[in-house]
Amino acid sequence: MEQDKPWALISEVGGDCGLLEDHLDIVKRHFQVVCYQDFLQNPELHGPQVQALLMWRYYPEAQPALLRMLPSLKVVSSGGTGVDHLDVSFINGLGVKVSNTPGVVSRATADLAMGLLLASARRILEGHLVARDPETRRIPLNLVGTDVSGATLGIVGMGDTGFNIAQRGHGFEMDVLYHNRNRRSLEDEQAVGATFCQNLDELLRRSDFVVLAVRLTSETTGLIGSRELELMKPTATLVNISRGQVVDQDALVQALRSGTIRAAALDVTHPEPLPRDHPLFSLPNVLITPHVGANTPSTGGRMVEMMVESAVAAIRGLPVPNEVKPN
């Protein structure tokens, strides 16, 4: 019966941060749903009912003020792999479980990483603008990109997403290097033709394309700064599909302006979105997309299924799939 289903708090349906209608149907199979703005209209009514907070695109934000209004809350289930937006220790201290959706975003995010790499290398966006410009009368001969096939791809972070990027790079006959806290198995390395670089500096010096695929932690915050950018080839491109805070953006702007590196292609920045007058927007050798690595229908649907699966388990007192523990 509908009235017997537990309640879940979500951000909204549609809009910039809301669930798609198809995704909402997945949630409603197991939950009664209240949207955040409706919740705020009557928190005394809804607060004691809500047992699951389903976060989509980081919303509703799991801030202490909100969590304290949810005395029956059992779980915060967040879509995506990263949990840098969550104070896991604080939430657990309230007796609330935390879960995420690792793995499911890896293929779509790897696709976007290669898309950014290719678009930057072959100057696809510039070519598109030239082709559709009403003033174009002839194809400019100076619209020259750089080779991808046969180039050296350096991947920083060889988890699921990094490995999927390596697979795609291998398909383009790239020489694949990777740097990771732990070396992958010999079988994994052979499958994608990857060579382990224990030293990040070595990878930066050797790579034509450096792709960042790490999680945001205290160790990876500011991982790429002025020093690291200066180690890269002047013909190299930096691709970031991890988190904006992994790169010192001021140092990146300077490196792009000075020719320290050739170009950057970014799906993530800090903050998101960037201020409209941010200097990255003024640089012709920068390509930016608005954190859309996981934005495909099948990926989104599977993320919501995993969120719901974890939330249902937590409410029933069962082991929570993909439970996140404090570091």
288-309 residue pLDDT tens: 999 999 999 999 999 999 999 9
8 Å CB contact between 58 and 36: no
Catalytic residue numbers?
Answer: 243, 272, 291
Residue 1 — pLDDT band, cuts 50, 70, 90?
low
165-195 residue pLDDT tens: 999 999 999 999 999 999 999 999 999 999 9
* pLDDT for the residue 20: 87
**Which residue type sits at 261?**
I
Rounded to an integer, what distance in angstroms lies between the CA atom of residue 146 and that of residue 165?
Answer: 19
Q: What share of the chain has pLDDT > 70, as a percent?
A: 100
Could you give the angle at the alpha carbon of 112 between the alpha carbons of 301 and 206, nearest 5°?
Answer: 140
Q: What share of the chain has pLDDT > 90, as a percent?
A: 91
8 Å CB contact between 156 and 212: yes
8 Å CB contact between 311 and 8: yes
210-243 residue pLDDT tens: 999 999 999 999 999 999 999 999 999 999 999 9
* pLDDT for the residue 302: 95
Q: What ranges make up the beta strands (E) of 136-244?
A: 152-156, 175-179, 194-196, 209-212, 237-240
251 vs 1 pLDDT, higher one: 251
Counting DSSP H helices and E strands in the chain, the numbers are: 13, 12
> Residue 104: is its pLDDT beyond 70?
yes
Q: Which of 239, 247, 234, 236 is nearest to 274 (CA)?
A: 247
* pLDDT for the residue 236: 98
Q: Which of 160, 194, 159, 201 is nearest to 178 (CA)?
A: 194
Q: Which two tokens stand for residue 313?
A: 């388990």
Rounded to an integer, what distance in angstroms lies between the CA atom of residue 5 and that of residue 186?
Answer: 48
Average pLDDT, the chain: 96
Of 18-22, 246-250, 253-257, least confident by mean pLDDT is 18-22
Could you give the angle at the alpha carbon of 80 between the alpha carbons of 77 and 86, nearest 5°?
Answer: 55
Average pLDDT over residues 138-144: 89
Average pLDDT over residues 283-290: 97
Q: Which two tokens stand for residue 106?
A: 């890896």
Rounded to an integer, what distance in angstroms lies between the CA atom of residue 278 and that of residue 103?
Answer: 33
* pLDDT for the residue 293: 95
The predicted model scores a pTM of 0.92
